[in-house]
């Protein structure tokens, strides 16, 4: 293929475009799919807390991911040059997979190029294992008894009330057009895109604010499930973030700015509720 392509710039540029498109599709599909799976098993009074646990995994990874990387990259850890591997490579290996780390240490330079493929292979193996592990719906859960399946379906039916019935005029394209015309969908899309701007600064946050944000996220969602209220549980954390930014911009005190970091991180806590 490389011999037939006369312009290397076209080949490399196309690879970058495909890489970016693939990464975009992966990020856009997983979280909504996970929320959809939860919605097929839990009632509206249970869904917020479960989705908060899922989103809390992201928050807690922000807390410990940067902490682990800082420890590895610092000169105090002594990881730089150990087993002939630079500190930044140790950070990548420990954040990717234990299997990739073992292969890198044992075979050292021989499989250096293959290592990146191994990291992807581990993810692919996890994907195949997930297909077998996850149960799709309450009516075909492989690990449920017939009585448990009926109970799960009855719970969801009672929570939904009158079931929606499809008609002969309904279609997937019609549902897509209706969603595009709904202003609420457009507003939520803009909100999600705007949130990505704030993610640019997450690596500058120390560990404790993210632990605090994870706790606030789960408690906020748990209370939202208990009360059935959504608006104030979502909008309330925004005021925490606004207050945090105001404090951070108007004080030079280290303690005051550190408290502001807690409030800024807590502003992320309600994002788990926007999908439910």
Do residues 73 and 103 share a domain? no
Is the residue at 4 inside a domain? no
Same domain, 136 and 50: no
Is 127 within the bounds of a domain? yes
Whether residues 261 and 124 share a domain: the answer is: no
188 and 77: one domain? yes
148-158 tens-digit pLDDT: 888 888 888 87
Question: Do 258 and 203 belong together in one domain?
Answer: yes
Query: Could you give the number of structural domains in the chain?
Result: 2
Q: Taking the model in full, what pTM does it have? A: 0.60
Same domain for 72 and 154? no
Q: What is the mean pLDDT of the chain?
A: 74
pLDDT for position 226? 86
- 76 band by pLDDT with thresholds 50, 70 and 90: low
Tallying the residues shown for the chain, one arrives at 276
Q: Measured between alpha carbons, how far is 62 from 189 in angstroms, rounded to an integer?
A: 23
The residue range of the domain holding 229 is 46-85+184-276
In a domain, 31, yes or no: no
- The pLDDT tens digits for 92-104 are 666 554 444 444 4
Within this chain, do residues 121 and 155 fall inside the same structural domain, yes or no? yes
Q: What percent of the chain has pLDDT over 90?
A: 0
Band (196; pLDDT cuts 50, 70, 90): low
Cβ count near 194 (within 10 Å)? 9
pLDDT bin (cut points 50, 70, 90) of residue 235 is confident
Tell me how far apart the alpha carbons of residues 79 and 4 are, in angstroms, rounded to a whole number: 44
Domain membership of residue 90 (yes or no) is no
Tell me the C-alpha distance between 210 and 165, whole Å. 43
């Amino acid at each position: 293929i490389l011999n037939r392509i006369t312009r290397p710039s076209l080949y490399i540029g196309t690879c970058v475009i495909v890489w970016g498109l693939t990464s975009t599709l992966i990020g856009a599909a997983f979280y909504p799919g996970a929320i959809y799976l939860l919605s097929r098993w839990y009632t509206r009074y249970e869904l917020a807390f479960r989705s908060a646990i899922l989103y809390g995994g992201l928050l807690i990874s922000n807390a410990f991911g940067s902490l682990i990387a800082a420890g590895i990259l610092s000169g105090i850890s002594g990881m730089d040059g150990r087993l002939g591997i630079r500190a930044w490579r140790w950070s990548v290996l420990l954040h990717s997979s234990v299997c990739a780390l073992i292969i890198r240490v044992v075979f050292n330079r021989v499989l250096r190029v293959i290592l990146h493929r191994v990291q992807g292979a581990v993810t692919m193996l996890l994907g195949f294992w997930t297909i077998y592990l996850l149960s799709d719906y309450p009516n075909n859960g492989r690990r449920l008894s017939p009585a448990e399946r009926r109970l799960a379906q009855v719970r969801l039916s009672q929570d939904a009330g009158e079931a929606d019935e499809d008609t002969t005029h309904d279609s997937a394209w019609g549902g897509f057009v209706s969603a595009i015309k709904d202003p609420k969908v457009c507003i939520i899309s803009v909100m999600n895109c705007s949130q990505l701007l704030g993610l640019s600064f997450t690596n500058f946050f120390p560990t404790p604010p993210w632990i605090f944000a994870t706790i606030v996220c789960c408690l906020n969602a748990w209370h939202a499930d208990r009360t059935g209220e959504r608006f104030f549980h979502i909008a309330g954390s925004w005021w925490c973030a606004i207050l945090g930014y105001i404090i951070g911009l108007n004080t030079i005190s280290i303690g005051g700015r550190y408290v502001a970091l807690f409030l800024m991180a807590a502003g992320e806590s309600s994002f788990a509720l926007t999908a439910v």
